[in-house]
Structure 1
Amino acid sequence: MYKQARPHQKRRKRSGAEVREEGLAAARRLLLDRGPAAVTLANIGEEIGMSHANVIHHFGSAAGLQSSLMGSMVADLTTALDDVVDLLQTDTAAPRTIADRVFDAFGKGGAGQLAAWIVLSGDVGQLDPVRKAVRELVDALIARSQQEAAPERVRALVMMMAVCAFGDAVIGPHLRAMLDQGDDAMRDLVAHILPLFLVPSGLFPPPEPA
């Protein structure tokens, strides 16, 4: 059967900054939709209507493209965690709000897939900027609790939230389907457990009985 060719589209001239921005946006979509193996120069070129050679010109190599994508997504994750810190400092964050922000950062923002990719690639140095954001989140929770006994509980809490959000982003949809759970099941669980870590410190009121 004859396949009709796509109509020719006139390509507009783009600045280097625009090409990099469009390329990184396309790379993020490919990572989230098709996984790390799809983040190639050829696929990026196809997505943004540019030749393979031109993509190389702007990113240098596949490794350069992937490193730029990692840096961009890590920056988004640290910003999302900073937003949680801001909420805590203004006393407007309820447990579910905190859970939603952290889970959104790992899920909708793609940080879960990114973290898995970074760890499996061995390039864990890319995660260094997250360290500061995580520590600031711990400090904000401790400051809000104003209790000497809080630090150990808070660090355990942040670890629990991060691991749960990461796992939910990477394999959550499949596990939830196996267990007949709704899309928000893990968020609901974390929001319910969160006060239990910190009730003695007065950070949040105890959860209401189910």
Structure 2
Amino acid sequence: MSATPRKRLTPEESRDAALAAARELLLESGPQAVTLKAVAARIGRTHANLLHHFGSAAGLQKALAARLAEVVTEKIGAAVLRARAKDPQDHDPREVVDMTFDAFGREGAGALASWMILNGNEDALDPILEAIHDLVDKIAEGHDDAGGTVHEETLQLTLMALGDSMLGGPMARALGLPRDKAREMAAAQLRSSMAQP
């Protein structure tokens, strides 16, 4: 019996398949599972093939971080622009808070970022930081942000979401608070900031 030949993929298709598999592994088993060997096995490619595309496991993680950041900031940016199109009285920043917290929690960006830092791969965070910076610049465009309010709010929201992704559940339980208390606090802070002239 002959083996079924593998479908030839373009370099871009191969890279996309690898990143999709890496994301699945991240969500299923955590950042430590995002290895070249595991991703290659998942997509039926060789370790050498992935080395060609990413150079190393750190390169794969950096590319995954860039992909996550791109998808997440696009969603958050769209939510902010939708909110701006509404009457400020009708806008609740909770949608943006939820998207940010979900990006770091359910989407795995917090676990991946923490893993990269703990492994000394801080450079791999650059795509996340650049994507957030670009998003903030886009959000601040055409608005008076002389006091850096948008930058400060973004810093606060990002750090709260990152912290919540790592310790939110255990801390809320330990303090006898609802699991989404940090989200409520972040939304309240943004509402208060929006209410100030």
Matching residue of 2:181: 185
Q: What TM-score do the two structures reach when normalised by structure 1?
A: 0.72
Which amino acid letter does the alignment assign opposite residue 137 of structure 2? R
Q: Deviations over 1:100-122 (max 9, x none)?
A: 22222322332222333444422
Matching residue of 2:152: 156
| Residue pair 1:107, 1:165 contacting (<8 A) in 2 also | yes
Question: How high is the sequence identity, in percent, across the aligned residues?
Answer: 35
Change in 2 beyond 3 A, CA 1:47/1:173: farther
Change in 2 beyond 3 A, CA 1:88/1:38: same
Residue from 43, 61, 70 that aligns with 2:38: 43
Residue from 166, 171, 176 that aligns with 1:175: 171
Alignment of structure 1 residues 111-150 onto 2, 5 Å = 111-120=109-118, 121-123=121-123, 124-126=125-127, 127-137=129-139, 139=140, 143=143
Q: Deviations over 1:66-103 (max 9, x none)?
A: 23212212212321332233123312641222222222
Which amino acid letter does the alignment assign opposite residue 72 of structure 1? R
Report the Cα distance in structure 2 between the residues aligned to 1:164 and 1:25, rounded to whole angstroms: 27
Matching residue of 1:25: 20
Higher CA-based Rg: 1
Aligned-pair CA distance for 1:132: 1.6
- Residue 89 in structure 1 maps to residue 91 in structure 2: no
Q: Deviations over 1:1-40 (max 9, x none)?
A: xxxxxxxx94641413332222111212223343333221
Change in 2 beyond 3 A, CA 1:55/1:158: closer
Aligned residues: 188
Report the Cα distance in structure 1 between the residues aligned to 2:96 and 2:47, rounded to whole angstroms: 42
Which amino acid letter does the alignment assign opposite residue 86 of structure 1? L
Report the Cα distance in structure 2 between the residues aligned to 1:122 and 1:59, rounded to whole angstroms: 17
Report the Cα distance in structure 2 between the residues aligned to 1:30 and 1:112, rounded to whole angstroms: 15
Q: What TM-score do the two structures reach when normalised by structure 2?
A: 0.76
Matching residue of 2:107: 109
- Residue 13 in structure 1 maps to residue 13 in structure 2: no
Matching residue of 1:65: 60
| Residue pair 2:25, 2:33 contacting (<8 A) in 1 also | yes
Which amino acid letter does the alignment assign opposite residue 114 of structure 1? L
